[in-house]
């Protein structure tokens, strides 16, 4: 294959973008359906027509950059070719972006440009398929130029992956978040001031400690920190214990434990909160029993902080066997070999648990009562009567700083130690059963929690099958009929239930975003684990930033950033897919990073020494060993897309209503039966989707022999 084949292919993509696709986005229509009209009307015209006939001459700068790249594609590979590609590709892309941000739907987007150059009679709207493909082609060609100049070890694929992923992270995470966070530095009079930022951060509402002495509430920052640490520690502990039970305990209950462990992931956020309310709320079973048996008056004791509070397979068994061969007993082997090798997984679990608990919005809003946390404060600062965007931005700063602190702590704990347990050599070890005292401790803590979890979910599911909880427990399917009834009309099946529209929209958008999230997350994880390049720390920070930002702020950021040209996406299904993708992206990155820490680099090196390309190595060597991480990313991104609330509550429209917004509307109207019935349907859907994904992707094979019954001393 010619060394310039990839260059010519992307030049062809750029030419097609300028000639075959509508340059600007169409209102209430898909641009792909207007391809036949790209040489006629101004609304659907292609880039060349827009620049030469419809008064958009600034687009010619991008076309000129593409022509420069076409010339470079005919040159011999080397630094000279790289310089020409860099000038044409990145130069043309930057020129197009600059013109897009400078010229909007009303002419100049900035007053200073109007004062410098006078009024502009022409205008432009958000870019469509043509503009997006043209930008992508120019960026990739510019990345090829960097590789030809010696960066990224001359690997075209790595260069294109780093630059493209970096550009997407900058556009869909850094840019909207920075635009929103910048509001923390703007005073009430509209002037920028550092004092405004300091005043919004360091005040009694955020860092007050009056609860330690006077009995008043503590600041929301302290509430969030305490809640995050308690939640992360407890979830990491319980998750580890359940994983040990499944992987090193009795195999009879392993499948049941794995299914139970998936429940919190595939459950909409309302289920746990509503289930706990049905148990411990004023009209809950517990309070009713206390009142009837002991005469205790029902109170709201459950609402508050207490209510809110309410990767073992990858370890090579041969390492454990080696320790026992050196005369270490089961207890010593577990504490000196097994637990240290769990450290990357435990650190990642704690990080995810801490950030998730800080950014959680659904449970605090349902069971928090007067216990305020940063996510709910941000929500009310934006949608409440006060509408204080500056305060919301300052609280978002706090969440970001807290998440970065935990991330730095995780890196310090892991240090530079190696945790490789899957290498190029076969591993025929037998997983070591848990020592007796460890097994007793695991069972004593995990089993009661398992039972409690089952009770919570049972009550939540039953709530959708009774007439009115707390008053009328008559069994009924009326709630399901209201949401998901079907009728037979003159033209076939009529989806007459009120929830069908939101159901189909949610499944469609989640199914589109899940594979994109998994693919991009694992690609970024591979870049971070197997390549070295300048700005790598900033690249990783940008990839994980979405987790540090509460969903409410991310949704508002998308509204502010993508409501005007050049990326005019508000009101479309695409903006929801993008929000799903980049909101869930850190999970794919962390899952991939944890997996790569256990894969020996010699596997990649051996493949490359056999003259396999980077793409072939990824496809045939690396990807098969990443199946657990791929399953985790696919499952998590799909179910989180279906169950997310805060990140999309500002992005939905009548045409793109989602399941969670439908449920919120029902809960707001007091129709808990329909809400819980919908949650039940979603749980069944996500359980089936999870099983299907695991079936299609399969499991990683590590070459381990089957275990034989052995007796291990205490």
Q: pLDDT tens, 596-644?
A: 776 666 666 676 676 666 777 776 667 777 777 777 788 888 888 888 8
From CA 464, how far away is CA 482, in angstroms rounded? Answer: 12
Per-residue burial over 201-225, b if 16 or more Cβ lie within 10 Å, else e, is: beeeebebeeeeeeeebbbbbbbbb
Angle between helices 672-697 and 659-668 (to 10 degrees): 160
* CB proximity list for 337: less than 8 A, separation 6 or greater: 319, 320, 323, 328
Q: Which of 17-26, 392-401, 510-519 is predicted with the least confidence, judged by mean pLDDT?
A: 392-401
DSSP code per residue over 223-246: HHHHHHHHHHHHHHHHHHHHHHHH
From CA 24, how far away is CA 31, in angstroms rounded? Answer: 8
Q: Taking Cα atoms as reference points, which of 665, 672, 661, 669 lies closest to residue 284?
A: 672
Kind of pairing, strands 492-494 and 107-108?
unpaired
Residue 337 and residue 514 in contact, taking contact as beta carbons nearer than 8 Å:
no
Q: Taking Cα atoms as reference points, which of 442, 459, 351 lies closest to residue 405?
A: 351
From CA 604, how far away is CA 623, in angstroms rounded? Answer: 11
DSSP code per residue over 428-444: ---PPPPPHHHHHHHHH
**Residue pLDDT, tens place only, 444-495:** 877 787 777 787 778 778 888 988 776 777 889 999 999 999 988 777 788 8
Give the pLDDT mean for 416-438.
Answer: 55
Q: Computed from CA positions of residues 260, 261, 267, 269, in that sequence, does the dihedral angle turn out positive or negative?
A: positive
Q: Write down all domains in the chain, each with its CATH number in brackets.
A: 5-149 (no CATH), 207-469 (1.10.3720.10), 478-697 (1.10.3720.10)
What is the band of 41 on the pLDDT scale with cuts at 50, 70, 90? confident
Residue 22 and residue 44 in contact, taking contact as beta carbons nearer than 8 Å:
yes
468 phi and psi angles, rounded to 5 deg: -145, 115
- Tell me: pLDDT of 90 over 90: yes
Q: Taking Cα atoms as reference points, which of 308, 347, 301, 311 lies closest to residue 228?
A: 308
pLDDT at residue 403, rounded to an integer:
72
Two structure tokens written together for 318: 């041969």
- Tell me: pLDDT of 254 over 70: no
Q: Taking Cα atoms as reference points, which of 282, 67, 89 lies closest to residue 167?
A: 89
pLDDT at residue 631, rounded to an integer:
79
pTM, two decimal places: 0.77
Two structure tokens written together for 445: 């803590």
What is the band of 580 on the pLDDT scale with cuts at 50, 70, 90? very high
Q: Give me the chain's average pLDDT, please.
A: 77
Q: Taking Cα atoms as reference points, which of 138, 140, 163, 174 lies closest to residue 534?
A: 163
- Which residue would you say has higher pLDDT here, 193 or 199? 199
From CA 346, how far away is CA 358, in angstroms rounded? Answer: 18
Give the pLDDT mean for 324-350.
Answer: 55
Two structure tokens written together for 569: 């996406």
pLDDT at residue 290, rounded to an integer:
58
Q: Which of 245-254, 349-358, 538-547 has the highest mean pLDDT?
A: 538-547
* CB proximity list for 331: less than 8 A, separation 6 or greater: 435, 437, 438, 714
**Residue pLDDT, tens place only, 531-579:** 888 888 888 888 877 766 767 778 878 987 898 889 999 888 999 999 9
Two structure tokens written together for 293: 């048996």
Task: Give residue 684's Cα distance to chain centre.
Answer: 22
**Residue pLDDT, tens place only, 78-89:** 999 999 999 999
Eight-state DSSP code of residue 492: E
- Tell me: pLDDT of 432 over 80: no
What is the band of 382 on the pLDDT scale with cuts at 50, 70, 90? confident
Residue 152 and residue 144 in contact, taking contact as beta carbons nearer than 8 Å:
no
Two structure tokens written together for 24: 């600007």
């Amino acid at each position: 294959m010619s060394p310039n084949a990839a260059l010519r292919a992307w030049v062809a993509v750029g030419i097609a973008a300028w000639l075959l696709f509508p340059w600007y986005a169409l209102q209430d229509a898909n641009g792909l359906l207007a391809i036949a009209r790209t040489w006629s009307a101004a609304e659907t015209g292609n880039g060349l027509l827009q620049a030469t006939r419809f008064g958009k001459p600034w687009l010619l700068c991008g076309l000129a950059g593409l022509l420069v790249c076409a010339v470079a594609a005919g040159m011999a590979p080397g630094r000279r070719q790289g310089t020409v590609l860099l000038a044409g590709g990145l130069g043309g892309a930057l020129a197009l972006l600059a013109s897009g941000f400078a010229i909007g739907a009303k002419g100049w987007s900035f007053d200073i440009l109007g004062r410098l150059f006078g009024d502009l009679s022409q205008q432009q709207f958000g870019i469509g398929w043509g503009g997006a493909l043209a930008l992508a082609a120019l960026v990739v060609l510019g990345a090829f130029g960097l590789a030809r100049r010696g960066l990224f070890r001359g690997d075209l694929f790595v260069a294109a992956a780093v630059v493209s992923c970096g550009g997407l992270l900058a556009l869909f995470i850094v840019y909207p978040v920075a635009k929103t966070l910048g509001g923390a530095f703007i005073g009430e009079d509209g002037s920028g001031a550092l004092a405004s930022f300091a005043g919004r951060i360091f005040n009694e509402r955020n860092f007050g400690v009056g609860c330690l002495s006077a009995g008043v509430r503590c600041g929301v920052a302290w509430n969030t920190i305490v809640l995050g640490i308690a939640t992360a520690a407890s979830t990491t502990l319980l998750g580890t214990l359940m994983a040990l039970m499944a992987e090193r305990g009795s195999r009879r209950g392993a499948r049941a434990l794995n299914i139970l462990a998936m429940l919190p992931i595939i459950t909409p956020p309302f289920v746990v909160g509503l289930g706990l309310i049905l148990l411990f709320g004023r009209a809950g079973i517990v309070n009713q029993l206390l009142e009837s048996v002991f005469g205790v008056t029902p109170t709201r004791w459950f609402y508050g902080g207490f209510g809110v509070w309410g990767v073992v397979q990858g370890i090579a068994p041969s390492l454990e066997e080696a320790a026992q061969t050196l005369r270490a007993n089961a207890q010593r082997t577990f504490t000196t070999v097994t637990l240290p090798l769990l450290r990357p997984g435990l650190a990642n679990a704690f990080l995810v648990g801490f950030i998730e608990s800080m950014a959680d919005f659904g449970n605090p809003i349902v069971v928090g009562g007067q216990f305020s946390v940063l996510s709910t404060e941000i929500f009310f600062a934006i949608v409440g009567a006060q509408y204080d965007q500056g305060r919301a931005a300052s609280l978002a700063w706090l969440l970001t700083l807290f998440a970065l602190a935990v991330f730095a702590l995780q890196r310090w704990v892991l240090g530079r130690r190696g945790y490789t347990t899957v290498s190029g050599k076969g591993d025929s070890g037998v997983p070591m059963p848990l020592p007796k005292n460890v097994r007793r401790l695991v069972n004593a803590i995990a089993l009661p929690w398992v039972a409690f979890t089952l009770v919570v979910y049972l009550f939540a599911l039953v709530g959708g099958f009774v007439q009115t909880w707390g008053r009328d427990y008559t069994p009924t399917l009326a709630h399901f009929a209201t949401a998901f009834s079907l009728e037979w009309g003159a033209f076939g099946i009529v989806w007459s239930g009120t929830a069908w529209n939101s159901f189909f929209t949610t499944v469609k958008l989640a199914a589109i975003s899940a594979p994109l999230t998994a693919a991009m997350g694992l690609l970024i994880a591979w870049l971070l684990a197997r390549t070295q390049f300048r700005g790598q720390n900033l690249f990783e920070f940008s990839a994980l930033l979405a987790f540090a930002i509460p969903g409410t702020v991310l949704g508002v950021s998308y509204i502010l950033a993508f409501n005007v040209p050049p990326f005019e996406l508000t009101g479309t299904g695409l903006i929801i897919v993008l929000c799903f993708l980049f909101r869930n992206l850190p999970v794919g990155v962390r899952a991939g990073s944890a997996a790569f820490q256990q894969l020996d680099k010699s596997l990649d090196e051996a493949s490359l020494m056999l003259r396999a390309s980077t793409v072939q190595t990824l496809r045939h060597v690396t990807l098969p060993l990443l199946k657990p991480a791929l399953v985790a990313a696919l499952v998590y991104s799909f179910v989180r897309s279906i169950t997310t609330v805060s990140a999309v509550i500002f992005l939905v429209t009548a045409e793109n209503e989602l399941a969670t917004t439908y449920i919120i509307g029902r809960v707001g109207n007091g129709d808990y039966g329909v809400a819980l019935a919908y949650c039940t349907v979603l749980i069944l859907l996500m359980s089936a989707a999870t099983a299907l994904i695991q079936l299609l992707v399969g499991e990683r094979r590590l070459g381990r022999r089957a275990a034989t019954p052995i007796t291990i001393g205490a």
